[in-house]
Structure 1
């Protein structure tokens, strides 16, 4: 029933600037704020086919802030991702490290870029763009492990990141060794996740590592598809987030979990075949939401309890959130078809034309 609510080898090959410029256009959401997000625009472009080559491109810069666009093609894995040293980097084996760096774009090209069991880790980083890549089966336990089990993880004073047209996927939950697909912690702000697919995971992602980690804020999620996720789509602890025009399919236990003072603006999303898609769950530390234009298609709601506070079955706003950036909302009824055409890696970076 429907319900509607109010990168060549490590040495690098320099490519024409026109390609770099095309790769970094179109940033949206909160990543447009706080000075904006341009990634490696204005710098050289190199091609990489291994994780070691990505690290070498970073390390070969004159400084940690020298702009660079790294075009990635092929499969990045533990066997080809090694630590590299240099003036422009701080890297490690078995994980793509964007640590203490700024002004970087990583974008998949050609036949595609797959990070196979290797996570992308941002720490103390600023002005970063990641586009058109697949990150799959990153583990925090078992073998091999990478990035704490997060497909893409950000922590410790991260600012202005745009993650766009990515596919983030796992093959199970924590018992199988996986953690979150998209985690933001320890003072991470001004981030947009757009036109991406997150699927087959116990945990979609979080904002804030604990109830006391409330320094993370200003996150936009739009035109993403969350599919077969048990919980955390996402989990918010403090801060402000804006979710619009996302398609949520088979959220098995809970979805947008706003808690510990978080405020979520939830606009024109399509929730389908799911349970408890919005509310405060697994805690008595309340979070808040402003809702409008959403469709709930075969969504079930649990009964309220001491640590279970679903927003439904008839979600109503309990806060207001002012959005500082311009954006166009697609009709919620059109979201499944729009997201199906546009979201994920290797879709040609297509975006919504507003049509069903």
Structure 2
């Protein structure tokens, strides 16, 4: 009986505390409170995260890159969020102020009661982004409060805190910068690296026409690495009637230009269902056949290295006459794009061809020269990007456009004569950036469209991206001269 007498007051106290908490939960009581998200499983409601009922929950239709949000008809002040997960499926998450794109907190688990204290902010919408989970997660409650005392700023020593610029497990920048390396830096260096057509029992073929490239791909021994050395001008007319060259359903291939002789004039390359591919020392231009991209990757594809090429179209045509210089869609991963000269293009580099192209792409761009281009430098949906030591000049409309929850580390780049070099425009969800050591000169920042976010003029990070690889990083003051001297074709002895 003693335990029964004790149980009632404890239960009463619990109910009283719960009622008080729910009364102050702005996700329920705030002006015009509501909820939305990126997807939901059958029979699930977004509003379940704000119904004060731990037995109901929001569950998305996929495990990763999913969002649930609480929102209001007018901005509220807040300094605490309480997340309650039914189960423990979440393995990576972040909390974002949708109004500004600022990451407020992140972590590797949620569990039954994750309390997030932040400095007091004003917001009309908060996003909980599930970056990854072991199975489709169940978020029971997304509670929002304005506590007395103004909240607590995030701990800068917490390695998952967005204010912490260094992950102690991240390999540091290391070594000398080598422009003619035999192996890639960046994401293409992961999981054994990218070797293309090199290796035991490798076959090398020299091609002077497109028909000879087709024959080399069609007749290859799939058990032996293949290198095609291109020595001549490749056109639709000498390519046997194809509209593009498909590196498809095969692995371990390199296509490498000889000296300054390899020109793909009006026809491009497509990598599709292929892994461990290298494309180096080629000129590609004026592609308006096939996919209308000079180089396009379509997943599943991984460990791709695009290095020391010159790729261009023209700005003296309609913006839709050509498509991208280099692009990727679907499940493309572990790609490095380095030392390329990318110029005279309306639509330059697209990664993720729509807001529903939801894959965790990981792409590195380093030591490229982007010149006289309109936009998409790159346009990046979902996944993670690392853009370092690039030189941007004469950008007309927008530069790096991070969208749909993408996180891009933008590091020691030079932006010269550019308009809106870093933005999040034209998608239903914002992307994020981790900016470090960049230089801007003669830059115009112009806010557009109404739902978009520009990074400047006072450029600040909205996220942190820690990297799984080491790399050599040039000081920003040396980037322009180094890129001008080394990007493009005929710079190395391949």
The structure whose Rg is larger is 2
Kept after mapping to 1: 8 A contact 2:297/2:327: yes
* 1:76 aligns to 2:220 (yes or no): no
* 1:238 aligns to 2:382 (yes or no): yes
Kindly indicate whether structure 1 or structure 2 has the higher relative contact order, using CA contacts under 8 Å at least 6 residues apart.
1
Aligned counterparts of 2:266 and 2:245: Cα–Cα separation in 1: 11
Matched residue of 2:440: which SS? strand
Matched residue of 1:112: which SS? coil
Match of 1:124 among 267, 273, 277: 273
Matched residue of 2:212: which SS? helix
Measure how far apart 1:176 and its partner are: 5.7
Aligned counterparts of 2:429 and 2:212: Cα–Cα separation in 1: 45
Write out per-residue CA displacement over residues 292-342 of structure 1, whole angstroms, 9 at most, x where no aligned residue.
110001111013652321000011011111111111111112111100000
Aligned to 2:297: 154
Measure how far apart 1:174 and its partner are: 4.9
Q: Cα–Cα, structure 1 residues 60 and 24, in superposed 2: closer, same or farther, change >3 Å?
A: farther
Measure how far apart 1:282 and its partner are: 2.1
Measure how far apart 1:66 and its partner are: 2.6
Kept after mapping to 2: 8 A contact 1:342/1:349: no
Measure how far apart 1:119 and its partner are: 0.6
Aligned counterparts of 1:332 and 1:81: Cα–Cα separation in 2: 43
Aligned to 1:104: 253
Write out per-residue CA displacement over residues 192-247 of structure 1, whole angstroms, 9 at most, x where no aligned residue.
00000110000111110111112151100000000111110000100000000000
Aligned counterparts of 1:62 and 1:305: Cα–Cα separation in 2: 52
Aligned to 1:13: none
Aligned to 1:142: none
Kept after mapping to 1: 8 A contact 2:183/2:194: no
Match of 2:321 among 172, 177, 183: 177
Kept after mapping to 1: 8 A contact 2:319/2:347: no
Write out per-residue CA displacement over residues 267-309 of structure 1, whole angstroms, 9 at most, x where no aligned residue.
0000010000002012341100000110001111013652321
Aligned to 1:38: 195
Structure 1 segments unaligned to the other structure (5+ residues): 1-5, 7-22, 84-92, 140-144, 351-356
Match of 2:471 among 327, 338, 350: 327
Aligned to 1:62: 221
Aligned to 1:211: 355
Number of equivalences:
313
* 1:50 aligns to 2:199 (yes or no): no
Measure how far apart 1:249 and its partner are: 0.6
When normalised by structure 1's length, the TM-score is 0.84
Q: Cα–Cα, structure 1 residues 304 and 72, in superposed 2: closer, same or farther, change >3 Å?
A: closer
Aligned counterparts of 1:229 and 1:128: Cα–Cα separation in 2: 27
Match of 1:189 among 315, 325, 333: 333
* 1:167 aligns to 2:325 (yes or no): no
Write out per-residue CA displacement over residues 66-94 of structure 1, whole angstroms, 9 at most, x where no aligned residue.
311111111000011126xxxxxxxxx13
Measure how far apart 1:99 and its partner are: 1.0
User: Considering only aligned residues, what root-mean-square deviation do their CA atoms show, in Å?
Assistant: 1.7
Measure how far apart 1:27 and its partner are: 1.7
Q: Cα–Cα, structure 1 residues 303 and 62, in superposed 2: closer, same or farther, change >3 Å?
A: closer
Aligned counterparts of 2:274 and 2:398: Cα–Cα separation in 1: 31
Comparing 207-216 with 268-277, which one deviates more in the overlay?
207-216
Aligned counterparts of 2:377 and 2:367: Cα–Cα separation in 1: 13
Match of 1:249 among 390, 393, 402: 393
Kept after mapping to 1: 8 A contact 2:248/2:274: yes
Aligned to 1:339: 483
Aligned to 2:283: 134
Matched residue of 1:321: which SS? coil
Aligned counterparts of 2:373 and 2:429: Cα–Cα separation in 1: 23
Kept after mapping to 1: 8 A contact 2:283/2:310: yes
Match of 1:26 among 183, 195, 201: 183
Matched residue of 2:485: which SS? helix
